[in-house]
Amino acid sequence: MAVDVTQELGTALSYEGVVSGLRELNPEIHADHIGQHGGWNRRIETHAALYWNGRYITAIDREVIPEFKLWNVREGDVEIPMAEIDRWEDCRVSHKVVAPDDAEYEHGLERVRRHDDNWKLGEDGKLRHYRAVRPMKVKGRVIKVGWRHIFELLLLHDIPGITRASLARKSSKPLAGAGFRS
């Protein structure tokens, strides 16, 4: 099923517009540095890399960048409360014995005192930590990075010229060359 990023994932920005807008804010920002030097990565067709002073910052979507991240979906084990194991035919329960010298032992005893179903103190004096899982659909790898995530990572690196205010000013100017939406 194809996803229309312009309708389902918030406001979309263009790769070219974002990269040129970021370079206007700081000329030391480069995209696709590895591709320019003959390098390769397994997602080079769909993603570029964003660098500042030659230092990798994050992946960036090529072409259309949605506002929010998009993940694919895969099968994976999801932990469920022990009280719900009767609801599912496909759940599995495992346990481990926690020894008194284990760092988790005191935490487990406290959970037993609070009547946590996942922790039991047996008549043999052994503390057991139970875990129930069932196969479900879970997030897989990121398909689209999303510009909000990209901007937050840029802000975390304290890059000169990149501030919330400068990004907001660029985002509010949709004309080609003046903002991110070329």
Query: Residue 15 in contact with residue 66, Cβ under 8 Å?
Result: no
For residue 44, what pLDDT band results from cuts at 50, 70 and 90?
A: low
By residue count, the chain amounts to: 182
pLDDT attached to residue 134: 95
- Give the contacts of 123 (CB within 8 A, at least 6 positions apart): none
**Residue 79 pLDDT greater than 50, yes or no:** yes
Q: Of 31 and 176, which is predicted with more confidence?
A: 31
The pTM of this model reads 0.62
Q: How would you class 68 by CB atoms within 10 Å of its CB: exposed for 0-12, middle for 13-18, buried for 19 or more? A: middle
For residue 143, what pLDDT band results from cuts at 50, 70 and 90?
A: confident
pLDDT attached to residue 178: 45
Least confident of 19-23, 68-72, 131-135, 165-169: 68-72
| Integer Rg of the chain from CA | 24
Query: Residue 28 in contact with residue 39, Cβ under 8 Å?
Result: no
**Residue 58 pLDDT greater than 50, yes or no:** yes
Instruction: Collapse the DSSP code of 67 into the 3-class scheme (helix H, G, I; strand E, B; otherwise coil) and give the result.
Output: coil
DSSP state of 158: T
**Residue 1 pLDDT greater than 50, yes or no:** no
Q: Of 33 and 99, which is predicted with more confidence?
A: 99
Largest CA distance in the chain: 73
